[in-house]
A and B are shown apart, each in its own frame.
Chain A
């Protein structure tokens, strides 16, 4: 039985439909990330699961029970909000106690739950402080602690790291990962940051304009994106896109893009038509630098970006720009105008230009 199931879930505001028939199953203990750009419907979907938004159509099921008309407090969920939503007039301890008040637990039980959360999240010295006296990272941990003490069946996170600086984001992200490992509770997490999604998720649900574009593990969505949107959204730096045309001569199937012409991957040859417009996707890390005498393509170096352990080469071949990701130690000397590159066609992603869909084996 799924921990959380969404079946044909739709959200409308008046005549405007913003979430279109979402179907999703989240297994118990799974860490699922709803990923997408702003306005894609991920937060609306999360809020429908939480009960903070009415469901226009479809069903939401939590722990085997349809909860469409069930109040948030009875859904066995706890939520961590983007801006923490800590009660500013209460101390950390009072924030947690207030979260447990409706459950009418004994004083001993309340103390015990708070003590456990404090121990796990390292909040002991913060208990008597008010939120205004805490840093961003501390506030987020307190928000997680306030959610934890309720021992829910499902944790809901709404972009919890978006208000933190880069360094703090890494730290708190690690704490969320540890928390999930320790508690094993189902988590539904919303973010627009693909790094958060890739590092935290067991399963990523990529959304765009209210539709689910692809559901899969981080490895799946990275290695086998289903369409151009997923291909360019996942991966940093973004996948290189090269417009090309299918050329079939006898048994030879080529993907021609001016000076960049590749043999079509054999696994998809049968699905290609002569003259078909396709878009080739090449991850920057899949392009290799080869010696000058080796076979390959010559490209002029536009800009070199040094990132410490790696470097990004921004190249140009004819009218086509390409980004190449290489170890920093391999970067060409300063002033070198060109490099020679090679692409293994097995690493090519081929998309039908008209539909945007990947052409898969």
Chain B
């Protein structure tokens, strides 16, 4: 076997190993969600079994799971949209304004991402209780945005830096104002960056558990909290938990697959001079 064939084989083996490590938990979730309770913990584990949709049925009949999915969608999409708008505008300003304060502002924004979320759970609880926003999707949108905006700023600033100033100057000479230039010239060129930011913001917001647990009740509860509600001190309803977990996985996968083309471009853009 030639050296390059050996290298290729090794690479494929590594890829297979990584895929197994990442896919096995997903397989376990799906398989367990389709198993009867008696098959769940059988020894040896059953790979061939009679599947059932009972867990999925219970999920939607024992809880208003469809409403909780809707809450999660509202919160995730709302926070993503808000973070993209505010974050990209802030990133544009940081990229284009050159003065001694801008680095300080930039660092201050990024530092929001650095401290542990658990440290602000209680303050946020008090604030939202005071203003009457507890148990509302808006509270979660606000909280998630405080983490998503710094991420968006950090990602988008790099993309805005890559857009040549001459393009904006050309638009300026042609007669376009700053806002028109931003929306028609600069922003379209940073679409891959927006896609990356959107995916990260959505996934963080969709998967988030701690703030959803502490700041919501029955009205604004999200799917992550709803799934864990099947875990009580009396019993752990594994089948329903797995069914709920698999449903939680789906929107994230769809989002990533939809933005896949832009994701690859966005994550690798600028790494090779084109």
Contacts and interface: CB of A to CB of B under 8 A. Distances in A.
A98 B184 CA distance: 9
Interface in A151-172: none
Given A88-B189, A89-B189, A98-B184, A73 B172 contact: yes
B14 to A, nearest CB: 34
Interface stretch (B80-88, B173-181, B217-225): B173-181
Nearest to A73: B175
B167 A87 contact: yes
Contact of B174 (A83, A88, A98): A98
A81 B175 CA distance: 16
A49 to B, nearest CB: 11
Interface string B81-108: 0000000000000000000000000000
Interface string A44-55: 000000111000
A85 B176 contact: no
A77 B174 CA distance: 9
B118 interface: no
Contacts of B167: 85, 87
Interface string B134-178: 000000000000000000000000000000101101111111100
A73 B174 contact: yes
Given A87-B167, A89-B188, A102 B175 contact: yes
A146 B175 CA distance: 13
Interface in A119-160: 146, 150
Interface residues of B, number: 16
Contact of B172 (A52, A83, A88): A52
Chain A interface helix/strand/loop/mixed: mixed
A70 B51 CA distance: 74
Interface string A82-106: 1101011100000000111111000
B185 interface: yes
B166 A83 contact: yes
A71 B175 CA distance: 9
A2 B172 CA distance: 25
A153 B170 CA distance: 17
A78 interface: yes
Contacts of B184: 98
A103 B175 contact: yes
Contacts of A85: 164, 166-167, 169-170
A78 B176 contact: no
Give the one of B167, B170, B185 with max A CB within 10 A: B170
B172 A87 contact: no
Contacts of A81: 166, 169-170
A82 B185 CA distance: 18
Nearest to B170: A85
Contacts of B174: 73, 78, 98-102, 146, 150
| Among A82, A87, A100, residue most surrounded by chain B Cβ atoms (within 10 Å) | A87
Contacts of A73: 172-176
Interface in B7-44: none
| The 10 nearest A-B residue pairs measured at CB | A102-B175, A73-B175, A85-B170, A85-B166, A99-B174, A72-B173, A81-B166, A89-B188, A79-B173, A85-B167
27 contacts: A50-B173, A51-B173, A52-B169, A52-B173, A71-B172, A73-B173, A73-B174, A79-B173, A81-B170, A83-B166, A85-B164, A85-B166, A85-B167, A87-B167, A87-B170, A87-B171, A89-B189, A98-B174, A98-B176, A98-B184, A99-B174, A100-B174, A101-B174, A101-B175, A101-B176, A102-B176, A103-B175
Given A83-B164, A102-B180, 8 more contacts: A51-B173, A52-B169, A52-B173, A85-B167, A87-B185, A98-B176, A101-B175, A146-B170
Interface of A: 50-52, 71-73, 77-79, 81-83, 85, 87-89, 98-103, 146, 150
